[in-house]
Amino acid sequence: MATQRGASVEFREVSKRYSDQVAVDRLSFTVPAGKICVLVGPSGSGKTTSLKMVNRLVEPSEGQILIDGTNVLAEEPTTLRRRIGYVIQQVGLFPHQTIAENVATVPRLLRWSGERIDARVTELLTLVGLDPRRYAKRYPAQLSGGERQRVGVARALAAEPPVMLMDEPFGAVDPIVRDRLQQEFLQIQRSQGTTVLFVTHDIDEAIRLGDRVAVMRGGRLVQFSPPAELLAHPANEFVAQFVGSDRGLKRLALLTVGGTELETDVDPARVEPKAPRLEPSMSLRDALARLLTSESELGLVYEDGRFRGALTLRQIGHMIRSDA
Amino acid sequence: MRLLLDALRWFIDPSHYQGSDAIQTRILEHVEMSGFAVLVAIALALPIGLILGHTGRLGFVAVSVANVGRALPSLALLALALIVVLPLGLGLGFWPTVLALIPLAVPPILTNAYVAVRNVDRDVVEAARGMGLGESDILRAIELPLALPLVIAGVRTAAVNVVATATLGAIVASGGLGRYIVDGFALQEYDRLFAGALLVAALAIVVEASLAAFEKAAVSPGIRHPGSAL
């Protein structure tokens, strides 16, 4: 499967006004090809409107949106939309069509051959973890909410779009299913190299999925940065409040034990036996949880059986406060 | 009870299956007039109802205009139809009857088509538009199949009303099953009258049942029993 076939998406001074109301106000940012940008903010912040301007479900009043340098307004809306995957919260599967027919929507519009469509449907259902033999002929009403979301993602990916728009795609499923869908989605996105614009009001989801997070408020972009930076340096009081007073802890989830400076002048044979063993790939948040439950002041980090050093609570505290 | 026996005897009389007044001929005439009126009404009302439902504009106006048709008494329409048809030299019988039946069939078809398309989940329509379906694709491939049960229900109502009302055509010298009722009354042959009434009722039931069967065959299993295992 080709990687890096995503396209860059650039907003240039984009505004949307409805009569005298400003929904989006001079929005500018660039999502590099193959990255996930999460638009996050309270309701009415203009994030969904911004998303819909990319595939022209909403036309901008001013400014330009460029996909790989080409203005979206230069293209016929239907042609443009067939190159942009689209997933919405209620999924919007066509209830009168089978799962296979739903997934085949855009390839059919593009007049792919029957065999090519069948092969692609089988490939996609497998990719999203649904056995094609069991699911292809079913109807959406026969699927669970989580299964429907998977079909929604498969349908959006069908014609290998360089860009995918997702509007709260995991909002309507329970937390356990959402967690799994997010994880699978990240894997799929990495394997496909699709550029994704993702709307949510859930800051935890934004931090987990985003390579970039765009915090919006009242139609304006308040901050645009990688999630770790957002947590370390909220641009203002609004962002700080929005990311939550536990932003330090959230940030630990993004940092790994391996990326932390360890204390190397510790003899593993001499420390208390309660000290937990940690791995470099572990997040600092998980490492902290281990330390707190083990009653030990430090954890021993091993990589492939070799002692690398010790991680202490002090160092974790230092990482929370540090710039990164 | 005696009337029923008389009607049965009337049915088994072989002479009632011969000539221009034969039962099968009258049934065919009745079906022709009703079918023609319903087809014209579908051709007029269905596209308008679907398109107005899709755009969401002018729906109120369309539904109100169609409802005027529902409020007009069929007998008055028949008289009006005569005034229109006679100067055109189309004669009595078939044309005035059909012309009077069309306004009866339009309202349920138009209203149901409009409401059915309006009721299609807007998220589904937006998903379709967002994936690059054109407006006519959306109407044809998404909205119409999802609206189909209600659309067919409208046609069913129209067809049953038309079959029942086509009986009145006999007053303006049309054929059809109304002949037995009007002639039976005039000649005081009550077995004939009663047999005619039974035939009209039976035909209405057959029409209703065939359209129900058509609905079952035409509507996607995915929306026939939402939420249930198929």
Q: Read off the CATH number of the domain in which B42 is found.
A: 1.10.3720.10
Which pLDDT does position A3 carry in this prediction?
45
Helical segments of chain A, H only: 47-54, 77-82, 99-103, 105-109, 114-127, 132-135, 145-157, 175-192, 203-209, 227-232, 237-243, 247-254, 284-294, 313-321
Angle, alpha carbons B220-B224-B229 (nearest 5°) = 105
User: What is the rounded average pLDDT of the residues B130-137?
Assistant: 93
Which residue does chain B place closest to A144, by CA atoms? B227
Q: Which of B138, B27, B207 is nearest to A77 (CA)?
A: B138
Q: Could you give the percent of chain B with pLDDT greater than 70?
A: 97
**B39/A282: higher pLDDT:** B39
User: Residue A301 — very low, low, confident or very high, per pLDDT cuts 50/70/90?
Assistant: confident
Which pLDDT does position B225 carry in this prediction?
57
**A295/B181: higher pLDDT:** B181
Instruction: State the Rg of chain B over Cα.
Output: 21
CA distance B132 to B155: 32
Is residue B61 over pLDDT 80?
no
Q: What average pLDDT is seen over chain B?
A: 87
Interface of B with A (CB under 8 A): 121, 123-124, 126-134, 137, 142, 145-146, 219-223, 225-230
Which pLDDT does position B177 carry in this prediction?
86
**ipTM tops 0.85:** no
Is residue A276 over pLDDT 60?
yes
**Owning domain of residue B121:** 21-229
Q: Which amino acid is at A246?
A: D
Is residue B227 over pLDDT 70?
no
Q: What is the pLDDT of residues A118-166, one digit of tens each?
A: 999 999 999 888 999 999 999 999 998 889 989 999 999 998 899 999 9
CA distance B159 to B30: 12
User: Residue A260 — very low, low, confident or very high, per pLDDT cuts 50/70/90?
Assistant: confident
Candidates B137, B222, B228; nearest CB to A95 = B222
Which pLDDT does position A286 carry in this prediction?
86
User: Residue B50 — very low, low, confident or very high, per pLDDT cuts 50/70/90?
Assistant: very high
Which pLDDT does position B10 carry in this prediction?
84
CA distance A106 to A80: 12
Is residue A2 over pLDDT 50?
no
Candidates B126, B226, B229; nearest CB to A95 = B226
Which pLDDT does position B209 carry in this prediction?
94
User: What is the rounded average pLDDT of the residues A206-215?
Assistant: 92
- Look up residue A83 and give its two tokens: 């190159």
Which pLDDT does position B20 carry in this prediction?
81
Tokens 């044809």 appear where? B140
- B-chain residues near A82 (CB < 8 A): 131-132
The answer to whether the CB atoms of A109 and B128 lie below 8 A apart is: no
Would B89 be classed as within a structural domain?
yes
Is residue B25 over pLDDT 90?
no
Would B15 be classed as within a structural domain?
no
User: Residue B202 — very low, low, confident or very high, per pLDDT cuts 50/70/90?
Assistant: very high
Number of domains in chain B: 1
Is residue B228 over pLDDT 60?
no
Which pLDDT does position A273 carry in this prediction?
75
Q: What average pLDDT is seen over chain A?
A: 88
Candidates A86, A90, A142; nearest CB to B229 = A142
- A-chain residues near B230 (CB < 8 A): 139, 142
Would B11 be classed as within a structural domain?
no
The answer to whether the CB atoms of A96 and B128 lie below 8 A apart is: no
Q: What is the pLDDT of residues A47-88, one digit of tens each?
A: 999 999 999 999 999 999 999 989 999 989 999 999 999 998
Whether the CA torsion A154, A140, A95, A91 is positive or negative: it is negative
The answer to whether the CB atoms of B223 and A55 lie below 8 A apart is: no
CA separation, residue A187 to residues A131, A166, A182, A193 (Å): 18, 16, 9, 10
For chain A, the domains span 9-244, 268-323
User: Residue B230 — very low, low, confident or very high, per pLDDT cuts 50/70/90?
Assistant: very low
User: Residue B168 — very low, low, confident or very high, per pLDDT cuts 50/70/90?
Assistant: confident
Lowest mean per-residue pLDDT among A3-7, A51-55, A198-202, B29-33: A3-7
For the domain spanning A9-244, the CATH number is: 3.40.50.300
For the domain spanning A268-323, the CATH number is: 3.10.580.10
Is residue A323 over pLDDT 70?
no
Would B10 be classed as within a structural domain?
no
Is residue B114 over pLDDT 60?
yes
Which pLDDT does position B23 carry in this prediction?
85
The answer to whether the CB atoms of A57 and B126 lie below 8 A apart is: yes
Closest-CA distance of chain B to residue A7, Å:
18
Is residue A1 over pLDDT 50?
no
Is residue A117 over pLDDT 90?
yes
- Residue A236: phi, psi to the nearest 5? -155, -175
Q: What is the pLDDT of residues B88-97, one digit of tens each?
A: 777 788 888 8
Q: B217 Cβ partners below 8 Å, 6+ apart?
A: none
